[in-house]
Amino acid sequence: MRVSDIVAHLNLDVFPSVGLVLFFGTFLLVGLHVLTLGSKGAERDARIPLEDEPILDRRASE
């Protein structure tokens, strides 16, 4: 029995659907996070590339 015979008998139809669900769920979570961030959080995040010192705790500056 060859590997191609074994793979042909496996039910691999579910993997594209699982990938789509994971992508869509991640997209929704990121979208909700952006929408609930607020103006202070958005302004703070916009300044990150301009600051010289690394930000150790992002929550402490709120």
Residue 41 burial (CB count, 10 A): 16
pLDDT at 57 over 80: no
**Tell me, what DSSP letter sits at residue 10?**
S
Place of tokens 């202070």: 40
Q: How many Å apart are CA 41 and CA 23, to the nearest integer?
A: 25
Confidence of residue 42 (pLDDT cuts 50, 70, 90): confident
Residue 29 or residue 56, greater confidence: 29
Q: How far apart are the first and last CA of the chain?
A: 63
Q: For residue 37, what pLDDT is reported?
A: 84
At 40, the pLDDT band (50, 70, 90 cuts) reads confident
Q: Please report, to the nearest 10 degrees, the dihedral formed by the alpha carbons of residues 34, 40, 41, 43 taken in order.
A: 90
